[in-house]
Amino acid sequence: MAEYKGVMVYGELLEGKISSLTTELLGCGRRLADELKEDLLCILVGDKLDEAPKKAIAFGADKVYTAEDPLLKEYQTDSYVTAMEKAVKDISPRVLLFGQTSVGRDLAPSLAFRLGTSLSMDCIELSIDPGTKLLQQTRPVYGGNARGTFTSETFPQMATVRKKAMSPLEPDESRKGEITPIKVELDPAKVKTKVLETVKEEVAGVKLEDAQAIVAGGRGIGSPDGFKQLEELAKALKGAVGASRPPCDNKWVPDTMQIGLTGKIVTPELYVAVGVSGASQHLAGCSGAKNIVAINKDPEANIFREARFGVVGDWKQVLPAFSEKVKELLAG
Ligand SMILES: Cc1cc2nc3c(=O)[nH]c(=O)nc-3n(C[C@H](O)[C@H](O)[C@H](O)COP(=O)(O)OP(=O)(O)OC[C@H]3O[C@@H](n4cnc5c(N)ncnc54)[C@H](O)[C@@H]3O)c2cc1C
């Protein structure tokens, strides 16, 4: 039986550079590897990896494995799963981490199935059990109302990790590490899908996922015009506007603004929920916010159970005064 050793991070690339979530995974992986007294490994898959392997070392990796092939130019399930299966079987890491991104959500389950191991998705905390050395994988359960911690006895121990749940290390360009190319044989005939076009999401201002302050509107906002008032507050906070599902379903705002179980997961410092009832499916996307402030006319609304601060009232009356005070405080 293979000896499983090391903590491996799947390094996701964005426009040729390692993503911020990958740097967070490397920060977390470094801590786990140190606890295990084993190496932190990073695997990078793509067409031309350029400076990415060196960056992974600067962010904490001891060894970087690279799989380069023209068939790996864009993410595509068949070619990426094949390349990763070969690499993971050759290297036999103890732990294998992915980001909870659209790539991670597709690649990690397919790979876990091929490797005959289990996987915990959307983890927010990872640690090593000192006795068994197994990975303890903590993730929200019951739509974000509770947390569950899981361990598995199959290897590699696989998890996907939510954005901003972990902290990256300060990059150190002088760090030394090993870069090892791995050969993957890919058969173009087995690649069943083709990327025809990549459409970039147009965002004016701060991206919802990156915003440190989010003003989110719910059904209680009542119209697209109402959202314009939320924009004003978001602008003052240098943040972004989000929404619960009904405003997106009603086409008051684009679907890309939806936060929740079937929308985006956000973890800002400040989340102002206006006219949002606090359904578990919505909280699944925002319960990682450091501070939730709720404005709702119903004192019994569930959002008040999650909120650190709450105002009971009609948002049309509360918001102008709230926004003015925020502007005043930020100016002072
Ligand atoms: C499988 C599944 C997936 C889902 N995924 C998501 C998801 O990703 N994201 C999501 O958000 N939902 C999702 N939902 C829907 C979710 O269950 C709720 O229906 C939804 O979150 C409710 O949105 P809301 O809070 O805006 O609306 P409501 O629940 O209707 O609440 C509106 C709130 O506004 C308040 N209000 C009304 N008028 C005012 C006023 N003038 N001033 C102040 N407050 C006012 C009301 O008191 C109420 O609390 C999903 C549901 C399912 C079944």
The β-bridge partners of 274 are: 217, 295
Residue carrying structure tokens 């991670």: 104
Q: What does the pLDDT look like over 269-322, one tens digit per residue?
A: 999 999 999 998 999 889 889 999 999 999 999 999 999 999 999 999 999 999
The per-residue pLDDT for 69 is 93
- Alpha-carbon distance of 156 to 112, in angstroms, equals 9
Q: State if residue 328 touches ligand 1 by the CB under 6 angstroms criterion.
A: no
Mutate to test the pocket of ligand 1, among 145, 214, 225, 244 (most ligand atoms within 8 A of CB): 244
pLDDT averaged over every residue in the chain: 94
The b-or-e profile of 98-119 (16+ CB within 10 A means b, else e) is bbbbebbebbbbbbbeebebbb
For the chain, percent of residues with pLDDT exceeding 90: 80
Q: State if residue 229 touches ligand 1 by the CB under 6 angstroms criterion.
A: no
Mutate to test the pocket of ligand 1, among 122, 215, 223, 245 (most ligand atoms within 8 A of CB): 245
Q: What does the pLDDT look like over 60-83, one tens digit per residue?
A: 999 999 999 999 999 999 999 999
The per-residue pLDDT for 16 is 87
> Does pLDDT of 19 surpass 90?
yes
Q: What does the pLDDT look like over 73-114, one tens digit per residue?
A: 999 999 999 999 999 999 999 999 999 999 999 999 999 999
Please tell me the least confidently modeled range out of 41-45, 168-172, 185-189: 185-189
**In 10 A of CB 308, how many CB atoms?**
12
Q: State if residue 218 touches ligand 1 by the CB under 6 angstroms criterion.
A: yes
Q: State if residue 312 touches ligand 1 by the CB under 6 angstroms criterion.
A: no
The per-residue pLDDT for 252 is 97
User: Given pLDDT bands bounded at 50, 70 and 90, which one contains residue 52?
Assistant: very high
Pure H helices in the chain: 20-36, 52-58, 77-91, 102-115, 224-236, 245-249, 280-286, 303-306, 315-331
| Residue of 11, 81, 82, 83 lying closest to 50 (CA atoms) | 11
Ligand 1 center from residue 213 Cα (angstroms)? 20
User: Given pLDDT bands bounded at 50, 70 and 90, which one contains residue 141?
Assistant: confident
Q: State if residue 79 touches ligand 1 by the CB under 6 angstroms criterion.
A: no
The per-residue pLDDT for 143 is 66
**In 10 A of CB 309, how many CB atoms?**
11
Average pLDDT over residues 165-182: 95
